[in-house]
Structure formats: structure tokens, C-alpha cells
Structure 1
Amino acid sequence: MKILRLLMIAAILAHVGSVQAQDIKPAEVKEVMQKVADWQIIHFKDTYSGRERAHHPLDWTNGAFYVGLVKWAEMADDDRYYNWMKNIGKEKDWELYKRMYHADDHTVGQMYVNLYRKYGDEEMIKPTTKQFDFMLYHQATTSMDWKSPFHQSRWNWCDALFMSPPVWAQLYNITGDEKYLDFMMKEFKATTDFLFDKKESLYYRDQRYMTQEDNGTKVFWSRGNGWVFAGLVNIMNELDPESKEYKYFLKLYKTMAERLLELQTPQGHWAMSLLGQEFYPTPETSGSSFYIYGFAWGINNGVLDKATYGPAVEKGWNAMVSYVNEEGMLGYVQPIGAAPGNASPDKTEVYGAGAFLSAGSEVFKLYGGK
């Protein structure tokens, strides 16, 4: 097994080494982003991860894709991507997905708010606002304990911090009503107090992993922490940089960024188990894309040092691009899960494309794109 791991690492190093020296050009960033976006839209109703059915259009998997697609739509030369997303909203009457309190089913709200910002049609956000108001006045009081009844009525798994809090921050931003901000802060802090390991500066995926080990290391799932890191950026984008709330998230973001920089592999990606590079040599592009997104955003917004974090962005982005095939499919996306697992060149998922598009949007700016 050890020899096999070494052979895999050597193969990946040889592959990635051929692209690491390439300069990043804004036009090429746009080109590969469009390629990935177009492929994903064409294959939107495909099945992935061994599933028998395609994901529902309002499922979190697609919601995460829309988060990145909105960023690409802002860069594209026409409105066809906006129109494609708008058609989904119209077909579904601008409703969130089926579960009232579950964070995953709120993800699509991020797309609705961004479409509202472009078109000014209040029908686009009316159902989301109504549902969030109901939750405000009927707040879940369940325990964060994973075994407690209805425990996912609150954000007791780290993925949730990407899915729901940015929508609360968006509603606060567009309405000016602090009730959305106050709720988001209260629940985000509760989740962080519960899942954040201060020694490692990383989040456990959920309570089940706090006492587990994987090959003698703590289990910190790459995509799980990627959800959090990207979620922090998406929240801060909605807040006044001078506010105490922004400064809370910025401190957390910088703490994670410093640790994540240490954990990037020589090949440019992050291992599926962040502390277990030796045991997970295969690239994983969804979590890695979120880290590149976060680093590039930090440099672009003057909160991370370019000399320190710029090389990580360059190495990481070139690695991610190398895993996009000729048709535009992003490979090495770990299937749906909650812990480190397997990824391969033929494995993809819609949320991986969303993460890639988010990363590209900031890499484009970093390298001079207008």
C-alpha cells in the first residue's frame, strides 16, 4: 500500500508540475470558467455519485452551483446565464426547497437574492423573506447534539455555514433590518463554539468526528472546511467592513487562512483529510477551489498579504485548471459525503463546478481582469 501511495504521489506531481510554471492570464481564466459553466449547464440533469436520479433544481448541490454561476454571470459577455437561472426561479415560484429549517434547503436563496439585485423584482425574494421571518418568530431551540431529535433544525454541521448564513446576511443588507443579522450572528457563533477546534484552527464536520481519528490524525474534512471558508467570504461581502460583525468574521477567516496555507500540498490542492496528506494523495477539487476562492478574495480585498498567499493561489488555480477535461468537466470532485473519501478524474459534481467558478471570479480579479 505504501508503494502504491508513493506511485500515486509521483504521478500527480508529474502531472501538476507541467502546469505550475504557467502564467495566469485573465482571458484564459474567463475561457476555462465559461467552459466549466457551459458543460455543467448542458449536463445539469445528469446523475452523479452513483445516484439513480438527478438532483432537484432546488437541492443544495445545485444551490452551491448557482452561487458560483452568479459570479460567472457577472463576468460573462451576455445575460444568458442570468436568464437560465431566472427560468429555474420562475419554474419553482421562487420557493426555497422543502425543509423549513434545514440550512441545505436555504442555499438557493443566495441565487434568488442576487437575481433580485439585478432585476429588482420583489417576487424573487418574497418567499425567502416570508420563510425566514417565520423562522425568526418560531426559532428552533433544539440541541446541537447530533443524536438529539430534529438536531439539523440548527446549524450543527459545518457545511451549513455556507448554505444558510449568507442568505441571512443578504436579507440584512438589502432590507437594513438588523433582525436578520442578529439571528445569523447568534446561530453562527453557536455553531463555531460547538465545532471549531481552536488548537487546529479548523472545523469538525459535525459532533461525530470530534472523537474519531483517521490513520492517527484528527478528522478535518477538506470540503467541510471549504464550505466554511467560502461561507465566511460570502457573509463578509454583505457586511460593512467597519462593523463589529465583519470584524468577528474577519478574525475567524484570517485564523483559518493561516492554518490552511500550512496545509496546502506541494501539488497545489488540499488533501481530503486536511491533516492526512500521506493517506489521501489524490487531488480533491471542490474543497481546494473554495480555499483558492477565499485566498484570492482576501488578497483582492487587502486583508491577506499577496506575497504570502499569492503563490498558493497561483499554484492552486493552475492545479484546478489541469483537472478540467477537454469538454469542460471538472474532475476529482469528491462525491457527496461527510468525511474524507475517494475522488478520481472521472468523478464530478455540480457543487464542484460552483466552487471552481467562485475561485475563478476572484483569480480573474487578482490577475488584472476587469
Structure 2
Amino acid sequence: MKVLKVLGAIAFSMLTMLTQAQEIKPAEVKAIMRKVADWQMAHFQDLFSGHKEPHHPLDWTNGAMYTGMLKWATMAGDDKYYSWLREIGKDHNWKLYNRRYHADDHTVGQLYVELYRKYGDEEMLSPTKEQFDYILYHPSKTSLHWMSPYHHDRWNWCDALFMSPPVWAKLYNVTGEEKYLDFMLSEFKATTDFLFDKKESLYYRDESYMGKLDNGTKIFWSRGNGWVFAGLVNIMNELNPRSKEYKYFLGIYKKMASKLIEIQTQEGHWAMSLLGDEFYPTPETSGSSFYVYGLAWGINNGVLDKSTYGLAVRKGWKAMVGHVTDEGMLGYVQPIGAAPGKAWPDKTEVYGSGAFLSAGSEVYKLYGGE
């Protein structure tokens, strides 16, 4: 029996090495991205996460999807993706979603700024700028402590660091007005000082998870940290790499990147509870796609060493592609939540597609795509 186990382990190891040795072809990356993008557009108004109604087009779920769809649109060679995204903005008069301060309702602003960059139409930018100016001059004074009065008016949950800060960074970049950068940096630092575990180099989802254990491990939610990791990239894309602000975000990014390659599973994904993979063996593709996106970006931008991080990207991307159905649906996307949970091969979510398309955009570059 022991001999059989040893032989099986050797065979698995050889198969893994063979799979990892296979180079990723840019044309194949582009083809699977197109399939996922087309499926998601066709199923945009489906019911997800057990909801009885489709997500509102300006909801954070779709806002996250748009960030990836935008990256695909720049690669696709087909204006239908830009046209589809532009119609969403036009249909809603380029307004952010309902809540003035809530980071989730700012997410769609990432779409608006990018479309403004492409088309130069001030109408696309004005409502976001007006709302952010109001926040600047009427900043929330609430505590970051969970369940304090109006606590969601500040970024006191880690998901928020993907939703709102990149919009502030983009607005700074396109207007040249440093007030947007200064506000974003101040609030980002406050959240990081509050939620970042320096020993583990990971973020708690919010204060309510601090001090709690799940099967003896600290609770670091995979998608929550994926939101942060991708958000860091989306922020740094807007900053001068020589600036002190860029270096601040890069410092956090590198700490997280180093931790992430330590805890990647043998299969290539990241466990839903990042430190508890033995208790959460089910793949989860939204958080994992964000990690592939962030790590590939780091190699492409010369801030991560390919010999150290390249294997993690290759394993991760191949794992993600393995969970795309023949029709183009990305499976194993955890439904809306705030903690480690469950995922299924036949269930997806719009933000999962956005994460996958973001990952593909950087993997494509990494393997020679132009």
C-alpha cells in the first residue's frame, strides 16, 4: 500500500510538472476571455446569489464586472463591448448608485472614468466629480469600528478598498487635482492601519472577524483579500511609480504577494479561508482570479520577479480556465458574502467574470500578447 502511495505521488508530481511546463499561448488566453465576456453579456440580467431580481446595473457586483470587461474591450478588436458599456452609462445618466458615501455604490465610477478617457465626454465624468467633491467638503466623521453609527460611510470593510479608492485615483489622474489623491490616501491608510494583520500580511474582512478562529486558523476571506489586491493594482496604475504614494501602495502589495505564493494550493487556486485550505478544499474563482491578475501585473510591471512568481500565475490561470464551461460560464464563484463559504461548479456571479477578465488581460501580456 505504501509503495502504491509513493508511486501515485510520483506520478502526480510528474503530471504537475508536465502541465506547468506547458506554455500559455496568448491566442488561447484571448479566445477564452472572449467566450467568458460574451457569455456574461448574454446573461447580464440573470439571477445570481439566490436573488429574486437581477442586480441593478449600477450595483457593485456589476461595477466589478465592468472593470474586467473594460480591460477586455481594449483587447477585443470589436467595438461592441465598448458600445455595450457606454449604453449602461447613458441609460443611467452617468450617475453613481444610490448611497452617497458607501464605497460599493462608487464602483461603477471606474467604468465612467475609463469611458471618459476614451471618448472625452465631460458628461461621463461630471456626476462622479460632483459627488466626490461633496464628500471632500463633508467628510464622514464616523468611527471605523464595526456597527458604529453610519460605519459604512467610511471604508471599514476590506472589500471597500477595491470599490472606491481606484475611482478617487482615476479622478486624480484625469483632472490633475491632488485633493482626490490626498483624501483617498488618508482614508486608505486609516483602513489599512485598522484591518491589516502585519504578521500574516493579509486583511481582515472587517473588525468582527478579528480574534475569531475557524478550525484553529485566523479568518482571512479569499475574495475579500482579492478585492484589496486587485484594488492596489488599479490604484497603482494611476500613479507615478516614483511618487511616495505609489511606493506606499507598492509596499502593501509586495507583502501580500509574498504571502499569497506561500499559501496557493497545489491545484492552483486559493482557499476560501486563506490559511485554512484543508478545511475549504472547494475551488473559488473570484478571489483566485484577482490574485492571478495582481501577480501577473507585478511581473509585467517589473515589481515582481518572474522566476519567483511566474509559476504561481501559470498554475492559477490554468486552474481558472479549467473552471470555465464550454458555453463560457466561469464556475465555482462564491455567491455574495463576507466570509469563507461554499461554491459550486454550476454557479457563477458577475464579479467573478470581471475578475477573470482582469486576470486574462495581464496573463495575455505576460505570455507575449500585444
1:211 aligns with 2:211: yes
1:244 aligns with 2:251: no
Per-residue Cα deviation, 1:172-231 (whole angstroms, up to 9, x for no partner): 001111100000000000000000000100000000000211001000000000000000
Give distance in 1, aligned partners of 2:121 and 2:107: 19
Alpha-carbon contact 1:161-1:231 (below 8 Å) kept? yes
Other-structure match for 2:5: none
4+ residue stretches of structure 1 with deviation over 4 A?
Answer: 16-21
Ranked by relative contact order (alpha carbons within 8 Å, sequence separation 6 or more), the top structure is 1
Other-structure match for 2:223: 223
Give distance in 2, aligned partners of 1:146 and 1:334: 23
Matches within 5 A, 1:132-147: 132-147=132-147
Give distance in 2, aligned partners of 1:179 and 1:20: 46
Q: Output the amino acid matched with 1:216.
A: G
Structure 1 residue 247: deviation in Å?
0.3
Give distance in 2, aligned partners of 1:49 and 1:170: 30
Other-structure match for 1:31: 31
Other-structure match for 2:339: 339
Per-residue Cα deviation, 1:296-323 (whole angstroms, up to 9, x for no partner): 0000000000000000000100010000
Give distance in 2, aligned partners of 1:90 and 1:302: 38
1:182 aligns with 2:182: yes
TM-score computed with the length of structure 1 as normaliser: 0.95
1:281 aligns with 2:281: yes
Other-structure match for 2:166: 166
Stretches of structure 1 that go unaligned for 5 or more consecutive residues are 1-9
Other-structure match for 1:257: 257
Q: Output the amino acid matched with 1:296.
A: A
Structure 1 residue 154: deviation in Å?
0.1
Equivalent position SS for 1:369: coil
Alpha-carbon contact 2:25-2:367 (below 8 Å) kept? yes
Alpha-carbon contact 1:33-1:72 (below 8 Å) kept? yes
Per-residue Cα deviation, 1:318-362 (whole angstroms, up to 9, x for no partner): 010000000000000000000000001011000000000000000
Per-residue Cα deviation, 1:48-93 (whole angstroms, up to 9, x for no partner): 1111010000000000000000000000111110000000000000
Equivalent position SS for 1:292: helix
Other-structure match for 1:7: none
Equivalent position SS for 2:278: helix
Equivalent position SS for 1:28: helix
Other-structure match for 1:316: 316
Structure 1 residue 20: deviation in Å?
4.8
Identity between Structure 1 and Structure 2 (%): 75
Q: 1:19 to 1:63 in 2, by over 3 A?
A: farther
Give distance in 2, aligned partners of 1:28 and 1:147: 46
Q: Output the amino acid matched with 1:324.
A: V
Alpha-carbon contact 2:136-2:183 (below 8 Å) kept? yes
Other-structure match for 2:63: 63
Other-structure match for 1:5: none
Q: Output the amino acid matched with 1:61.
A: T
Give distance in 1, aligned partners of 2:21 and 2:281: 21
Report the aligned-residue RMSD: 1.4
1:329 aligns with 2:334: no
Stretches of structure 2 that go unaligned for 5 or more consecutive residues are 1-8
Give distance in 1, aligned partners of 2:307 and 2:188: 31
Alpha-carbon contact 2:20-2:311 (below 8 Å) kept? no
Equivalent position SS for 2:336: coil
